[in-house]
Amino acid sequence: MRAVDVIRKKRDGGKLTPEEIAFFVQGAVSGTGWMPYQVSALLMAIYFRGMDLEETACLTQAMAASGQRWDWSDLPGPVVDKHSTGGVGDKTSLILAPLAAACGVYVPMMSGRGLGHTGGTLDKLEAIPGFRVEWEPEQIRSILRDVGLIMMGPTAAMAPADRILYALRDVTATVESIPLITASILSKKIAEGIAALVLDVKCGRGAFMKHRPDAEALALSLQQVGTAAGLRLVTLLTAMDAPLGCCIGNALEVKEAIETLQGRGPEDITALSVRLAAHMVLLGGLADSLAQAEARVRQALQSGQGLERFRRCVMQQGGDPRVLDRPELLPQAPHVEAWRAPRAGYVAALHADRLGQASMLLGAGRARLEDTVDPAVGIVCRVRPGQKVSPGECLLEVHYRQDQSLKAALPLLEQAVILEDGPPAALPNEPLVLHTWG
Ligand code: URA
C-alpha cells in the first residue's frame, strides 16, 4: 500500500477501507510510509471530501489504538466522563465532576488547555496554587480510587495519533472537519477506558460551531460514532451566545465554580452543571430516570458533598485547599477597571466571542499553543442579558495586569455589551439546552 494512492482515492471522493485508515494512522505515528506533507494532504482531502460514519468510526478506533488504553475494571463503580467542545466562561467541569463523584460515579477527567477565545480546564485548575495536572499512571489510579475523580492532562502514551494529527491540522486549516473533530475527541475518550460519556456540544457566537446546523451535525456524528464504538453516550446541544456564568478568566472562574459548589453560583452555570452531572449519574446506572438523577445531584450540591469532593480533589492533586474558604488566596490582578454603561437601556446581548477574545488579549488565554496564560486576569460580567441598566452603571469589571493589554482589549469590550432601549424579545442562552440525543 502507498500513501499517494490513499490520498488520491480520498481526493477523488472514494471511501477508505479499514486497512487504508489503519495504514494512515500507523504511518502518521511511526513515520513509516507517510511523510508529514502526505499526512497533511490526506487531512485536506478528508476536509473537502468528508468521511462516512463507517470511515469515521474506523479512524476513531485506529487513533484510540495508537497508544495506551486505560482499564478501570477494578473500580467498584461506573466510570463516566464529560467532554465539552469549549465555550466562554465554561467552568462546568470543575463543578460537575465533584458532584457526579459525590453521587458514586468515578470521573477520570482528561482535559485540555485553552486555545483562542475559549478557556481550558487545565489552565483554570492551575490557577489554584500548587495544583498539578500531570501524574504518573499509578498515581492517577490511586487518586481516582481515593477521591472518585481526577482532573488531569492527556498523558503522552494516550492516543498519540491525535496529538500528531491535531498539530498538523492546526497549521493546515483542517481543524474544522466534522469527521476529524469526531475522531479526535472520541479517540481520547475511548483510550481513557470509560464506560459512558456525556458530550456537551456548544452552539453559538462563543462556540467553535457558530451555526446550529453545523453544531447538530457534529453532535450527531459524535453520538453515532461513540455509540458504534460501544460507549454509552448522551450528547447535549447547548447555547453559547452569552458567556456561561459571570466570570471569564482562570482564577475568576475557579472562584465562581467554588461559589457554585457552595450553592451561590449563577443560575445558568448551576443548572447546566447539575444537568450534565445528572446525565453522568444516569448513564452510570445510579438512577432510574433523569429526574431521579437530578434530585441526587441537587442533594449533593445542597448538602455540600460536592464541595467536599472538590476539596479532596484539590488536596490530593497538590493544590492549596484553603482557596475554597479564602478565594483571596487565588491569584489576583493588580488592577480592576469598571466598564460602565454609556446610557440607560436593556442588555440585549453579551457577546461571548468578543468577551472571550478580550479576555485572551488581557492574558487569560492563548493565541498560540506555546503561549503562557496569566491566571489572575479576566472579566466579570456585572449584568446579565435582559437586565435594565442606568447610565454609568458597571457592566463589566476588567481585571488586568498591563495597561497595554487593557488597551488591546478595549475595542472588543466596547462591542461586547449590546444595549437597546426596550427589553429584548429573546434572550441569548435561553433555553440553555437546545437538544439532547441518547
Ligand atoms: N477538540 C478536540 O479534542 N479535537 C478537535 O479536533 C477539536 C476540538
Model pTM score: 0.94
Whether residue 182 has its Cβ less than 6 Å from ligand 1: no
Domains of the chain: total: 3
Set 91, 188, 275, 384: catalytic member: 188
Structural domain span for residue 46: 3-50
Alpha-carbon span 360 to 357, nearest angstrom: 5
Q: Which atom of ligand 1 is nearest to the CA of 175?
A: 6
Q: State residue 156's pLDDT score.
A: 85
Alpha-carbon span 294 to 274, nearest angstrom: 7
Alpha-carbon span 430 to 15, nearest angstrom: 40
Active-site residue flag, 399: no
Q: State residue 63's pLDDT score.
A: 98
CA of 186 to the centre of ligand 1 (A): 9
Q: State residue 115's pLDDT score.
A: 74
Whether residue 66 has its Cβ less than 6 Å from ligand 1: no
Q: What is the DSSP string of 329-358?
A: GS---SEEEEEE-SSSEEEEEE-HHHHHHH
- Tell me which of 298, 325, 352 is where a domain ends: 325
Active-site residue flag, 184: yes
Q: State residue 366's pLDDT score.
A: 86
* Residue 29's CATH number: 1.20.970.10
Q: State residue 230's pLDDT score.
A: 92
Q: Give the type of residue at 360.
A: M
Whether residue 79 has its Cβ less than 6 Å from ligand 1: no
Whether residue 254 has its Cβ less than 6 Å from ligand 1: no
Q: State residue 73's pLDDT score.
A: 93
Whether residue 118 has its Cβ less than 6 Å from ligand 1: no
Largest CA distance in the chain: 70
Looking at the fold, whether 143 and 256 belong to one and the same domain comes out as yes
* Residue 336's CATH number: 3.90.1170.30
Active-site residue flag, 326: no
In this structure, is residue 126 part of a structural domain? Answer: yes
Using CB atoms within 10 A of its CB, is residue 60 exposed (0-12), middle (13-18) or buried (19+)?
A: buried
Looking at the fold, whether 95 and 175 belong to one and the same domain comes out as yes
- Cell triple for 214: 453545523
Set 40, 111, 184, 187: catalytic member: 184
10-residue block means of pLDDT along the chain (438 residues)? Answer: 97 98 97 95 98 98 96 95 95 98 97 80 96 94 96 91 93 93 96 95 94 97 96 97 97 98 97 98 98 98 98 98 96 97 96 96 87 95 96 98 96 96 89 94
Q: State residue 371's pLDDT score.
A: 85
Pick the closest to residue 67 from 191, 235, 178 (CA basis): 191
CA of 59 to the centre of ligand 1 (A): 14
